[in-house]
Amino acid sequence: MFGLTPFGIGSSIISYLLLTNIPFTQNKTAHFVYPLGEKIPAEKNNEKNIEQELKNLHLEIKEEDVINDASYLNKTPIAAIVIIKSEDDIKKVLKYARENNIKVSIAGARHSMGGHAFVEDGIVLDMNEYKEMKMSEDYTLSVQSGALFSDIQHFLDKQGLSVKAMQSVNFCTVGGTLAANAHGIVHDPGCIGTTVKKMRVMLASGDIKEIT
């Protein structure tokens, strides 16, 4: 939940992607693998089994065998990418991963560039569809972690509001921004985390904790 301030976004920074009308999800051809000389392993037979087993749990799967971040320097083979749309989706994946000893990572817009948004042969939680938001009477915004700051801007602008702090670009997700402890573009309030009133966090066990 974010504290808000009553200013519009007319003068705020508009991302290059919006100016050029290029969707941030547009795929690029990228075959470069780092470190140099390493090769992407051949597809394993059990990867398709994992995808099918996840589908049997009524989860939506993105049909990709590799993943990369915005740097296009971290092409990594993965077992499956699950498109998260609800809290229950996350619980299902974590339960399956625990029972099958599979590592899980979480990714949004993938602008945390260092390969830490995914793990080799693991399951990736794609959070981009997990982005509902609502406003309370005391002007506190509740937002799911997959929402982009551009989504938040458009939602708040209709009400003459804006967030107190954000990065200098708006194509990062809320979850990724807080995970990186990103700072805003002004010294006060500083880190975006200082504008968060509370968070609900799901542990690997599937238990949920509220942090204030």
* Interval 123-146: pLDDT, tens: 999 999 999 999 998 889 999 999
User: In this predicted structure, what is the pLDDT of residue 148?
Assistant: 92
User: In this predicted structure, what is the pLDDT of residue 98?
Assistant: 96
Please give the single-letter amino acid code of residue 69. Answer: D
The contacts of residue 37 (CB under 8 Å, 6+ apart) are: none
SS3 state of residue 167: coil
Q: What pTM was estimated for this model as a whole?
A: 0.77
Whether the link from the prior residue into 23 is cis, omega within 30° of 0, is: no
Is pLDDT at 40 greater than 90 in this prediction? no
User: Could you write out the DSSP letters of every residue in 173-186?
Assistant: BHHHHHHTT-B-SS
Higher pLDDT, 189 or 153: 153
Average pLDDT over residues 72-77: 85
Average pLDDT over residues 148-152: 92
Is pLDDT at 42 greater than 70 in this prediction? no
User: In this predicted structure, what is the pLDDT of residue 96?
Assistant: 97
Rg, C-alpha atoms of the chain: 18
Is pLDDT at 153 greater than 90 in this prediction? yes
Alpha-carbon distance of 35 to 12, in angstroms, equals 38
User: In this predicted structure, what is the pLDDT of residue 122?
Assistant: 94
Is pLDDT at 114 greater than 60 in this prediction? yes
Q: Are 174 and 156 in contact (CB under 8 A)?
A: no
What do you get for the CA distance between the two ends of the chain, in Å? 10
Alpha-carbon distance of 84 to 133, in angstroms, equals 15
Lowest mean pLDDT among 4-8, 29-33, 114-118, 170-174: 4-8
